[in-house]
Amino acid sequence: MRAKDAVGQYGERTAARFLEDCGYALVARNWRGTGGELDIVALDGDEVVVVEVKTRTSTAFGHPAQAVTPRKLARLRRLAGEWLTTYEPYVASVRIDVVAVTAQRQGRAVVEHLVGVC
């Protein structure tokens, strides 16, 4: 496994635990649609939340959330629509969040949850 993939998987596990600890119910992880992948789909009460997870080992090249560009957000919106038509066609509310994980050499990762980025 490549180091980059291992960092990404670590971040997704960390984000999933964080969301569950905050009361979210995880519905899907690494869901693949026709145009890409949704890292996490969760429920916050009755609202569907599509969560993009970005993980870095440092902020030397910027904050992890800075990697979520307008192009990436557009792709997430398309994928969210695809997921919704497949699994929850009558949902009333959906939002896109970002969980930014910065892994530390020692100790716990820094986790930041950006709610409703789009």
Residue range 21-68, pLDDT digits in tens: 999 999 999 999 998 999 999 999 989 999 999 999 888 889 999 999
**Domains of the chain (ranges plus CATH)?**
3-114 (3.40.1350.10)
Euclidean distance between CA atoms 72 and 58, whole angstroms: 21
Q: What is the model's pTM?
A: 0.91
Q: Say if residue 19's pLDDT is above 90.
A: yes
Residue 109 per-residue DSSP state = P
